[in-house]
Structure 1
Amino acid sequence: MKKLLSSLTLAACAVAATLPSFAVADNPIRGNIRVVIGSDSTGGDTYQAASLIANAMSERMKTNVRVDAVGASQAFRFLDRVSNGSTIMFFHDQSYLGNLYGIRGYEDIFEKYTIGQTITINPGDAFVVPKNSPYNNIQELIDAAGQGERIRVAIQPGGVSEIGYTALKNAVKLLYPGQEGNVVAVNTGSQADKNQQLFDRQADIIHGSIQANEQYTRLPEDDQRAMRFLWLTAKNETLSQADPAGFGGTSRDELLQFVEPINVVPMTADNNFTFDKEFFFLYNKDTDPKVLAYYDQVLTDIFAEGKVQEEMKKAFFIPNFRPASEAQEYLSAKKDAYRAIIEAIKE
């Protein structure tokens, strides 16, 4: 019997060693944490950014934090059902831009949910043209539209694609009133779909990213897939924080040639348009403030340690942590600023 009990004890210890260590003493959440993201791709920047912070959270919280790529509609539905903090959402600016553009399935996140912490920025938001395009910079493209040329822009409606397209259209309206209709959207889907539009010359310029399109910029000009960057929407001070090596075969200094003040898209008579694609958490509206405060503390500790920032920069993300209360105020102001651009082009 003693041998049997000893064997059972050893077996139990072995099983316990393979199980995740769940809640620590001050953790108000019992069990695993599920992070649902507003993308259904495990190869995109949303999943990559979510995984970076989820891994850090798992280590800090001593629990299993799992990222699920379920897409925006499903992510909001899952968030609606769980208020104890065990299911949280991770997404970017499309979560409110979709509502501003009137896209079905996007409600006002500032009313329906609790906005959580900002985590990181992808400074790679880009617009690219064929390598043999007649436009050498974004100003030449704006001028061409203003002088009557039809500019076809391939985008995915309702998000970071469309806000850049709206900015281009608004710039033509500002500089060449009445000619903004020459900038037309080619509505499509994934990045692969937008790339194909460019390959087939069904679009003159497409929305892309440094991460997705830089490889094509290194192809020879006679390759039909060859591209070059024309405009990056990120702020100069954001991109300047990236690793000097840049991404792929393109250095940070080379990428800085595509942002302000060298490459600008006017927004008003006094200001230029910029857009940082920012990732943040969302919580169920009924989440206990103690749970939100706990997540605040966990993430504050993670960023104070500094390890996650290094991992982000290796993946060409810019660390951008704000606790929930600061993030709520900041993102609300950001939403209002871009609302003004969207409404201006509708007038």
Structure 2
Amino acid sequence: MTVSKKTLATFGSAVALVSMTLGAGAAMAQEGELRGNIRVVIGSTSTGADTYQNSSIVTDALAEKLGLNMKVDAVGASSAFRTLDRDSRGNTLMIFHDYAYLGYLYGVEGFSDIFEKYTIGPTVSINPGNAYLVPKDSPYETLDDIIAAVGNGETVRVAIQPGGVSEIGFSALKNAIAIEHPGQEDNLVAVNTGSQSDKNQQLFDDQVDVINGSVQANEQYTRLPEDDQKAMRFVWLTASQDTIEQAPEEGLGQTTREQLLEYVEPNVNVTMGDDENFTFDKEFFFIYNKDMDPGIVAQIDEALAEIYEEGEIQETLRASFFTPNFRPSGEASEHLQEKMARYQEIIDNIK
């Protein structure tokens, strides 16, 4: 069989092209870059709540920056961790919030020490809306009234979802009562329940005196007249003053930023002792498989740094009542470990 010089030349070019492609692929693998389809699992099963909304904003921006197909998958905490455990290639990433380590501190089944088992990626935003509310006709006008009542022997029932973000404010409040009114802290009683709608219903039915909620979920009820069974008012936002000050001036719904600032320090104080007050910012961050290539960690850090430098994502986040909060992986891990140690003290104090 005779092969023409033209055919040989074409074949040679093809071989060279394949070699170049393989070489580029090898270089990409060595650099640890993301490639292919990327699944971003989140620790929530809801596609309407803050974790999904926040994760979608960040993931869409990252996908566009890197030219990749990235999809958010709301699988829930346990499933997300299991899925992440099985994939060290970088094709599965995770976004979650402080419940990732609080669940471990509270001994929730299925939670491990994320700082030992996983690599912590960058923080991306804060949901500043974590709140505590009472009925609009409650005798407790302020959080100080609640602390004083419990200190005087009154039982105050608080609806929370146990084990995480919903409970940490309750724990801090109970710790503050133990400091200011030793021996009376057990008069603050947790009523463990499920979703936000479950907590709301407890308040509507007069089964509790206070609920954990959020600005996003509960602001609508604060607009109702006092004689409405569903009318509520805020008594405490756990976020720091600095975080709320970064919220849009118009706030959310009919509640302005200035009104929201009435419910954070220094207007509301929950002592931790030694002149330190408790605050809690609900932060969202990436979590990676421990064996994922460090090059991918660096790539995501660099891409997000550019995205936040450009500034458009900040406006998108603020429009959804999130506070932009980018920290690269190393800084984020150190910061979150400090938070975990701080909240561990509170939880240990009230055991």
Query: Which residue of the other structure, out of 133, 154, 161, is the alignment partner of 1:156?
Result: 161
Tell me the amino acid that sits aligned with residue 105 of structure 2.
L
8 Å Cα contact 1:217-1:226 kept in structure 2: yes
- What is the aligned partner in structure 2 of residue 212 from structure 1? 217
Tell me the amino acid that sits aligned with residue 214 of structure 1.
E
- What is the aligned partner in structure 2 of residue 319 from structure 1? 324
| 1:123 correspondence with 2:89 | no
C-alpha displacement at 1:29, in angstroms?
2.1
Query: Which residue of the other structure, out of 54, 57, 60, is the alignment partner of 2:59?
Result: 54
- What is the aligned partner in structure 2 of residue 344 from structure 1? 349
- Across the aligned residues of Structure 1 and Structure 2, the Cα RMSD in angstroms comes to 1.1
Question: What stretches of structure 1 move > 4 A for 4+ residues in a row?
Answer: none
- What is the aligned partner in structure 2 of residue 34 from structure 1? 39
**Equivalent residue of 2:235, what SS?**
strand
| 1:287 correspondence with 2:292 | yes
1:213-269 per-position Cα deviation (integer Å, ceiling 9, x unaligned): 000000111111111001000000110011100001100000000001111111114
- What is the aligned partner in structure 2 of residue 329 from structure 1? 334
Tell me the amino acid that sits aligned with residue 210 of structure 2.
I
8 Å Cα contact 2:32-2:293 kept in structure 1: no
**Equivalent residue of 1:207, what SS?**
strand
Tell me the amino acid that sits aligned with residue 120 of structure 1.
S
C-alpha displacement at 1:27, in angstroms?
7.5
Q: Distance in 1 between matches of 2:60 and 2:265?
A: 34
8 Å Cα contact 2:156-2:188 kept in structure 1: yes
Q: Distance in 2 between matches of 1:323 and 1:91?
A: 16
8 Å Cα contact 1:122-1:277 kept in structure 2: yes
**Equivalent residue of 2:247, what SS?**
coil
* TM-score, scaled relative to structure 2: 0.90
Q: Distance in 2 between matches of 1:197 and 1:73?
A: 27
- What is the aligned partner in structure 2 of residue 141 from structure 1? 146
- What is the aligned partner in structure 1 of residue 303 from structure 2? 298
- What is the aligned partner in structure 2 of residue 13 from structure 1? none
8 Å Cα contact 1:84-1:291 kept in structure 2: no
Q: Distance in 2 between matches of 1:144 and 1:326?
A: 41
C-alpha displacement at 1:64, in angstroms?
1.4
8 Å Cα contact 2:32-2:295 kept in structure 1: no
C-alpha displacement at 1:103, in angstroms?
0.7
C-alpha displacement at 1:171, in angstroms?
1.0
- What is the aligned partner in structure 2 of residue 19 from structure 1? none
Identity %: 61
Q: Distance in 2 between matches of 1:342 and 1:62?
A: 44
1:145-198 per-position Cα deviation (integer Å, ceiling 9, x unaligned): 000110111001110111000011111111110000100110001111111111
Tell me the amino acid that sits aligned with residue 59 of structure 1.
E
Query: Which residue of the other structure, out of 199, 210, 223, is the alignment partner of 1:194?
Result: 199
Q: Distance in 1 between matches of 2:192 and 2:121?
A: 31
| 1:310 correspondence with 2:321 | no
- What is the aligned partner in structure 1 of residue 262 from structure 2? 257
List aligned pairs for 1:205-284, cutoff 5 A.
205-284=210-289
- What is the aligned partner in structure 1 of residue 176 from structure 2? 171
Q: Which has the larger radius of gyration?
A: 2
- What is the aligned partner in structure 1 of residue 13 from structure 2? none
Tell me the amino acid that sits aligned with residue 218 of structure 1.
R
Q: Distance in 2 between matches of 1:334 and 1:170?
A: 16
- What is the aligned partner in structure 1 of residue 7 from structure 2? none
Q: Distance in 2 between matches of 1:269 and 1:281?
A: 33
Q: Distance in 2 between matches of 1:213 and 1:54?
A: 27
1:52-77 per-position Cα deviation (integer Å, ceiling 9, x unaligned): 10110111111111111110000001
Tell me the amino acid that sits aligned with residue 165 of structure 1.
F
Number of residue equivalences: 323
8 Å Cα contact 2:35-2:68 kept in structure 1: no
**Equivalent residue of 1:267, what SS?**
strand
Query: Which residue of the other structure, out of 186, 204, 208, is the alignment partner of 1:181?
Result: 186
The answer for unaligned runs of 5 or more in structure 1 is 1-22
| 1:97 correspondence with 2:108 | no
Q: Distance in 2 between matches of 1:262 and 1:290?
A: 45
1:272-326 per-position Cα deviation (integer Å, ceiling 9, x unaligned): 1110000000000001111111111111111111110010011111000011011
The answer for unaligned runs of 5 or more in structure 2 is 1-24
**Equivalent residue of 2:191, what SS?**
strand
1:66-125 per-position Cα deviation (integer Å, ceiling 9, x unaligned): 111110000001100111111111000000000001110111000110000000001100
8 Å Cα contact 1:46-1:91 kept in structure 2: yes
**Equivalent residue of 1:280, what SS?**
strand
Tell me the amino acid that sits aligned with residue 163 of structure 1.
I
